[in-house]
Structure 1
Amino acid sequence: MNPDLIRPEIAALPTYNAGLALDRFRAHYGIDCLAKLDSNENPAGPCPGVVEAIRAEAAGIARYPDAGNGALREDLAAATGTTADQIIIGNGSEDLIGAVFRTVLRPGDHVVTICPSFGLHEFGALASGAHVTKVPFNADWTFPLDGMIRAMTAEAPRVLIFSSPSNPAGPAISETEFGALLKATPADTLVVFDEAYLEYLEPAARFDAMARLAAGPHPWLILRTFSKAYGLAGVRVGYGIACAPDLAAQMMKARNPFGVNALAVAAARAALRDTDHLALSVGLAAEGRAHLARHLSEAGFVCAPSQTNFVFFDTGGVATDFAEALRHRGVLIKPWLEDPFTSWARVTVGTPDENRYFLEAVEAMRVLA
């Protein structure tokens, strides 16, 4: 193939650091996986109503789904206190990250984010021809407000994008910090606030980010997902809440009109109704992350403070080597590949048995070291 066929922005992108599928793991390593803790999946799974909804919808799959996802948008509008025309549904929130970048970015535009960050916050911008400033977290894992403000002062960004609670690190920005950041953000900058892990926030850390954004001068987009706390990672459905209906409408032009299938929509609607299962999932995650962080800290590992369903920790060496050693013991975690955090890894909160397998494997590796 002629290498000139590929756009240089795409050729220069790293491969997305995805978790390993179970069938691929078994084929490569020849053993069963004891603990799949590399993709921040919900060990409680979806609520029972999700499976029932998918079965009921399956008979109609010869028909195209509603391109506008109207029923789910109405449900979400009622749940979030917005209007349906402000909401856009995507094939996971990743789909919407790409759509908003394709909608607003021009070659040469500036994007500001944090580091470490969710890879597509950077990759999607680079693919659109923008340049990205990544601002590292402070040493104590507080959000780097001063660094983000300096980056925006040096060059006004078209987009400011970051997640809170943060993926992969886990900390959450406070309401005071969020307000200070918005006050320093240029009025024309689109603020994309990724709340994929919103449901896991401890009550004391919660605040109404949408109200803060709506009170300011900036255009904004909030991103959320059904993949994490709702347990729907396999069906791929996320949503965005836009500052104005026109932003959602313009983003629709930049994504596949049938990108969210009928089974995914049925699953999301059922999951949204089962608040008891959501509370169960969040409770299990809070208990599990405290357990993992405590045992890792007692074993001498440095952990970032987490408000999510995972723990980010410093392996003390090359994280890919650490993760590979765990794979040979049937345990999957995600080594981080982003400089300067290549000694860090992210472990998902699993079932009690999965958490135990992980901690036992880590302890066995320390004994042998």
Structure 2
Amino acid sequence: MPVNPSEISKSLVPDSIRNLKVYQAGKPIDELAREKGLTKISKLASNENPLGPSPFAIREMTKGLWDLHRYPDMHAYALKRALADLYKLKLENIVLGSGSEGIMGYIARTFLSPGLEVLTSEKTFIGFTILARSAGAVITTVPQTSDHRYDVEAMAKAITEKTKVIYIANPNNPTGTYITKTEFDHLMSHVPGHVLVLLDEAYFEFARNQEDYPDSMTYRYDNVITLRTFSKAYGLSGVRVGYGFGHEDLMSNLNKAKLPFEPNLIAQLGAVGALEDVPHLERTLLNNTIQYVRTFEFLKKHGFSPVASVTNFITVPMGSAQASDALYNLLLDEGVIIRPLKANEMPDYVRVSLGTHAEMDHFFAAMEKILPSFQKEFGNLL
């Protein structure tokens, strides 16, 4: 007798999985090209490095093409050694994964079980909460402050006996704001030893020069794990490689939970090459600074109130979900992809990644073309 597909999933799939919302990535360039028949497209949706990967990374990855029939080094010695030398760590303090999200999966498997609690902020990166829910954990969120920042005081007060992991994206995606050294110290003074603090520093390279930014590498708390990635400033989103560091006992247990041979061969080689090319990283940061100033000023000039950011994106309040959706769709017609933020509990906001000079010119031209009709319908957003 045929069985209703929903009945199959009810009997086989745990509620913690069936009830998950699927992560929504930024619209791919090829998809928009097919839909609209466009040839000029600027993707400003996924906070990627518009300059692309380092030539050093490309060189190393190309060498690896001849070894694709071989498994990679399961322990990724060369990459761990490069990271250990850069940050003055022991190899035992490092864990690697397929993007920082891969390591988040290891953390969910290692530290969480049904009924345990993850404490985080609203309006933050949803990747870890998806993985935590898949492990059966309960998610508790606290509201952000009025200026789109983590409310550290509220988080400290929200810690309970069931709290197992505190997730902090610093800088935060999608708001681009960050918690300061003073705020981080205050929070840690309230965190008991049985609680793991997970710091997601995907945008660390963009924020590291802020005087009051708490570079977690200078902190050596036993119950803190920091995650960073090669997907943003290093331009290796397509090969998926991230890293984490913390107490060697925690790293040892995480390595038990990870799949062998992650990251893959090409990712390991590309990451080593990227770390060697410091000038490429510096060019990336310089371009980001220039485009941030141009874009922030453009948005303010045209009646918007962008959120000040220390990352490679700017988040913009739109006044309503309808205005957010309208701007997103109007820009798609012009070949510009930005990111609506409904999935991040911010339906009345959009996020604009910072691209090359030419890509931002494309964005500015598209905005100037559509703004008269847009503002006629939705008003001035200042």
| Aligned 8 A contact 2:124 2:344 in 1 | no
Flag the 1:155–1:321 CA change in 2: closer, same or farther, 3 A: farther
Select the structure of larger CA radius of gyration: 2
2:336 maps to what in 1?
331
The AA in structure 2 aligned to 1:261 is N
| Aligned 8 A contact 2:179 2:213 in 1 | no
1:310 maps to what in 2?
313
Q: Of the candidates 181, 200, 205, which is equivalent to residue 199 of structure 1?
A: 205
Unaligned stretches of 5+ residues in structure 2:
375-382
| Aligned 8 A contact 1:121 1:162 in 2 | no
Q: Which moved more, 1:175-184 or 1:201-210?
A: 201-210
1:171 maps to what in 2?
177
Q: Which moved more, 1:253-262 or 1:69-78?
A: 253-262
Query: Tell me, what secondary structure is at the counterpart of 2:184?
Result: helix
Q: For each residue in 1:138-193, what CA deviation from the matched residue of structure 2 results, as whole angstroms up to 9, or x when unmatched?
A: 002333112211211x5551000111111111012111111011111122110111
> In the alignment, does 2:259 pair up with 1:256?
yes
- Write out the 4+ residue segments of structure 1 that deviate beyond 4 Å after TM superposition: none
Matches within 5 A, 1:151-162: 151-152=158-159, 154-162=160-168
User: Residues of 2 paired with 1:33 and 1:246: CA distance?
Assistant: 50
2:379 maps to what in 1?
none
Query: Tell me, what secondary structure is at the counterpart of 1:191?
Result: strand
Give the TM-score, by structure 1 length.
0.94
User: Residues of 1 paired with 2:360 and 2:212: CA distance?
Assistant: 25
1:321 maps to what in 2?
326
> In the alignment, does 2:123 pair up with 1:116?
yes
Query: Tell me, what secondary structure is at the counterpart of 1:204?
Result: coil
User: Residues of 2 paired with 1:107 and 1:94: CA distance?
Assistant: 20
1:300 maps to what in 2?
303
Shift of 1:362: 2.2
> In the alignment, does 2:285 pair up with 1:282?
yes
RMSD: 1.5
Shift of 1:206: 3.7
Identity of aligned residues (%): 34
User: Residues of 1 paired with 2:152 and 2:349: CA distance?
Assistant: 22
| Aligned 8 A contact 2:119 2:141 in 1 | yes
> In the alignment, does 2:73 pair up with 1:66?
yes
| Aligned 8 A contact 1:159 1:190 in 2 | yes
Flag the 1:40–1:109 CA change in 2: closer, same or farther, 3 A: same
1:223 maps to what in 2?
227
Q: Of the candidates 175, 184, 195, which is equivalent to residue 190 of structure 2?
A: 184
2:372 maps to what in 1?
367
| Aligned 8 A contact 1:158 1:189 in 2 | yes
Query: Tell me, what secondary structure is at the counterpart of 1:193?
Result: strand
Q: For each residue in 1:258-287, what CA deviation from the matched residue of structure 2 results, as whole angstroms up to 9, or x when unmatched?
A: 231111111100100111111110111122
Query: Tell me, what secondary structure is at the counterpart of 1:302?
Result: coil
The AA in structure 2 aligned to 1:320 is D
1:48 maps to what in 2?
55
Q: Which moved more, 1:80-89 or 1:287-296?
A: 287-296
Shift of 1:15: 1.5
Unaligned stretches of 5+ residues in structure 1:
none
Query: Tell me, what secondary structure is at the counterpart of 1:146?
Result: helix
| Aligned 8 A contact 2:47 2:354 in 1 | yes
Query: Tell me, what secondary structure is at the counterpart of 1:307?
Result: coil
Give the TM-score, by structure 2 length.
0.91
Flag the 1:57–1:339 CA change in 2: closer, same or farther, 3 A: closer
The AA in structure 2 aligned to 1:191 is V
User: Residues of 1 paired with 2:257 and 2:329: CA distance?
Assistant: 38
> In the alignment, does 2:77 pair up with 1:77?
no
Q: Which moved more, 1:132-141 or 1:313-322?
A: 313-322
2:378 maps to what in 1?
none
Shift of 1:255: 2.2
Flag the 1:12–1:137 CA change in 2: closer, same or farther, 3 A: same
1:232 maps to what in 2?
236
Flag the 1:339–1:279 CA change in 2: closer, same or farther, 3 A: closer
